[in-house]
Structure formats: structure tokens, C-alpha cells
């Protein structure tokens, strides 16, 4: 293997040695199979190609200061994939199958796990797709579940530095009773045009509002949004938001640190009242935001040029737990030995 400059890694695909696959046929899941191929062969009428039967997860494995390898909260990712599968009528990979596949991929690609202290991690991408052929609009009878891994650096090139977002009032990512709460491919397809426009206009990503009224904040690009004020961690409550495992963890960490936690509707105009705001997710971890531009209303909300003290403490605590520097008192980590 060529030498990898771990500290220079961006967030993107990086070829590793192995992936793991499992097929659902005749009403049951088969055995895990190890593959070194990067290709997937399927029927041209597979439901993933026509009717969007596709879900995925994002999670990470870390090499700690003690040298041990930890996966962060994989059972929560398993539960979320099961929820996504139910949402678009796919066969549900059992929790134990999901976690076993992830463990196997990490172990098989152990040499690609970045060393402690490089700021990089091993990103896991579990994927579930409908491979059975259908021409009518019906769910497939066959599915493929697979997991591959890539060493990655920070999602935003700035790392843990404030970024700029743009309010996308003229685009909707998901409808209130649609698929927004599931991690399915269509939600991300719906965000591509607005995301590309934001990038061309100098922003890292978009703030999406509720599709019904365009009044309340839903998500921050492919991440959840949170704001800090009056010693309170505030994050949106909505039927069209993907339940972020990072956000769930930060809510608990915030309580552990003595903050109050509120899940509620957050109007765009309330941005003026927050001391700190940020996006959070597996890929980004926490990305502090120092500017949100409402391009339709010509209003710009601004915060400090550096990450605020609460975001910094939350980030350091979460990373510390993931890397074994801080006590994992909630037993979130799963060790790979």
C-alpha cells in the first residue's frame, strides 16, 4: 500500500481492499460474503434504478490513543437503516447482521484506519438497494445489503472552523409526511441543485426550511442544525428531518455538561437571538456556522470568526469519547479486537 498522507485526506471515495455483501432472496437473508470488487451487477429493471428503493448509512471507526479501534454507536445506525427500509418497503437487515457486517469491513480494512491524532477516521457506508426486477410500481422481492469503507478527513475543507450557509427558500428537500425522516437516496437527489448553487455562490451548503410554510428551519444541508443561547441547546423538531445520531449524542452530551436541551420549531428570524449556531452529522461532526444568508429576503445573520465556546466543548467531548480520551459512560463505542 502506498503511503497515505492521513492529515491531507478530504471527504471522498478512497479505494480499500474489501467490502462485505449480503443478499435477500426467497424471503430470507443469506450469509455475509467478502468481495474485493468495486462493482455491482444487477437487473436493468431493478427497483433501485426505477423507483428509488435505496437507503444508506454513514458511520465511523476510530483508532484511539490507546491503539484500540472503536466504532461509534453502530446499533443506532442499524436501527435507522431498519426505519429507512420500512419507509420505502425494503427488506430490513437485522441489527446483528448490520453490525457484524460493519465489524467485518473494519477488520478486513484495518490498515486503512488512520492513526490517532491525524484528524482522520475510517468512514463506513452501509447501503441497501432493491435489486429485484419490477416494471410496475411495486417493491422488489430481492435486495442487496453491502458495506464498504474509506479513510476520510473532514467533510468541509475548513474542518472545525466556521463555514457559511445559505437559506434555500426556493427549494424543498423533503415534505412533512414524505421520506425526510428516512436516509434514502431521493432526499439527497432533491438537495443537489440547491447545494450546487450555494457552492457556486460561495457557501458551504444550504439551510432548508419546512416545505409547508417556509418559516421554520429543517436541516443544514445533509446535516442537522442546532443553536446555542441562554445555556440551552436548541435543535429543530420536524417530521421531515433525518434523526441524526450525532445530534442525538450531542443532546446527551449537552445535558451532561449542564445545558438544557430543547427540540422544537425554530423560526428563521430566531437566528438573530442565538449566540452560536452549527451543523452536525457523522461526516461533519460539528461545523460551526459564522454566516447564514437569506438570499430571497436579502438578510444576513452573522456570528464570530472562530468557533464559539459551547460548540468547541461539545466537539472536544464527542471526539474525546470516540477516540477513548474521555470516559464513554453511555457505552456508545463498540470495540473491534
For 273-302, b where at least 16 C-beta lie within 10 A, e where not — what string?
ebbbbbbbbbbbbbbbbbbbbbbeeeeebe
Q: Which residues contact 90 (CB under 8 A, 6 or more apart)?
A: 53, 55, 84, 128, 130, 139, 140, 143
| Rounded distance between C-alpha atoms, residue 181 and residue 302, angstroms | 29
Q: Residue 57's closest CA among 121, 125, 130, 122?
A: 125
Helix (H) or strand (E) holding 70: strand 69-72
Residue 60 designated active-site:
no
Angle value at C-alpha 207, between 203 and 208, nearest 5 degrees: 140
DSSP state of 184: B
| Rounded distance between C-alpha atoms, residue 256 and residue 332, angstroms | 14
DSSP state of 119: S
DSSP state of 8: G
| Rounded distance between C-alpha atoms, residue 238 and residue 179, angstroms | 12
Rounded to a whole number of angstroms, the distance between the first and last alpha carbons of the chain is 22
Which residues make beta-bridge pairs with 166?
A: 206, 293
**Backbone dihedral angles phi then psi of residue 80, each to the nearest 5 degrees:** -70, -35
| Rounded distance between C-alpha atoms, residue 233 and residue 29, angstroms | 41
Q: Which is catalytic among the residues 107, 183, 265, 299?
A: 183
61, 69 Cβ separation under 8 angstroms = yes
Alpha helices, DSSP H only, in the chain?
47-50, 74-87, 95-108, 185-189, 192-200, 245-256, 309-322
Alpha helices, DSSP H only, in 88-172?
95-108
Residues annotated as catalytic (active site), given as ranges: 183
Amino acid at each position: 500500500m502506498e503511503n497515505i498522507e492521513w492529515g491531507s485526506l478530504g471527504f471522498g471515495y478512497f479505494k480499500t481492499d474489501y467490502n462485505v455483501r449480503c443478499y435477500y432472496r426467497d424471503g430470507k437473508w443469506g450469509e455475509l460474503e467478502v468481495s474485493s470488487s468495486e462493482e455491482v451487477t444487477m437487473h436493468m429493471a431493478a427497483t433501485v434504478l426505477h423507483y428509488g428503493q435505496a437507503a444508506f448509512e454513514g458511520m465511523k471507526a476510530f483508532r484511539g490513543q490507546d491503539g484500540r479501534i472503536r466504532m461509534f454507536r453502530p446499533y443506532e445506525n442499524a436501527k435507522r437503516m431498519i426505519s429507512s427500509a420500512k419507509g420505502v418497503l425494503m427488506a430490513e437487515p437485522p441489527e446483528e447482521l448490520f453490525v457484524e457486517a460493519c465489524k467485518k469491513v473494519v477488520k478486513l480494512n484495518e490498515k486503512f484506519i488512520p492513526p490517532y491524532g491525524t484528524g482522520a477516521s475510517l468512514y463506513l457506508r452501509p447501503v441497501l438497494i432493491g435489486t429485484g426486477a419490477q416494471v410496475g410500481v411495486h417493491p422488489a422481492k430481492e435486495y442487496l445489503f453491502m458495506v464498504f469503507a474509506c479513510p476520510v478527513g473532514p467533510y468541509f475543507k475548513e474542518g472545525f472552523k466556521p463555514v457559511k450557509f445559505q437559506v434555500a427558500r426556493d427549494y424543498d428537500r423533503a415534505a412533512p409526511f414524505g421520506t425526510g425522516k428516512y436516509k434514502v437516496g431521493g432526499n439527497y437527489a432533491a438537495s443537489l441543485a440547491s447545494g450546487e448553487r450555494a457552492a457556486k455562490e460561495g457557501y458551504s451548503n444550504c439551510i432548508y426550511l419546512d416545505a409547508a410554510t417556509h418559516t421554520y428551519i429543517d436541516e443544514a444541508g445533509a446535516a442537522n442544525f442546532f443553536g446555542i443561547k441562554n445555556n440551552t441547546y436548541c435543535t429543530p423538531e420536524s417530521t421531515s428531518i433525518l434523526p441524526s445520531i450525532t445530534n442525538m449524542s450531542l443532546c446527551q452530551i449537552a445535558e451532561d455538561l449542564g445545558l438544557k436541551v430543547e427540540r422544537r420549531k425554530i423560526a428563521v428570524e430566531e437566528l438573530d437571538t442565538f449566540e452560536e449556531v452549527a451543523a452536525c452529522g457523522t461526516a461533519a461532526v460539528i461545523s460551526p456556522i459564522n454566516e447564514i444568508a437569506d438570499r430571497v429576503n436579502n438578510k444576513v445573520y452573522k456570528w464570530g470568526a472562530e468557533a464559539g465556546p459551547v460548540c468547541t466543548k461539545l466537539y472536544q467531548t464527542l471526539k474525546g469519547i470516540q477516540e477513548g480520551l474521555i470516559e464513554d459512560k453511555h457505552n456508545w463505542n463498540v470495540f473491534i479486537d
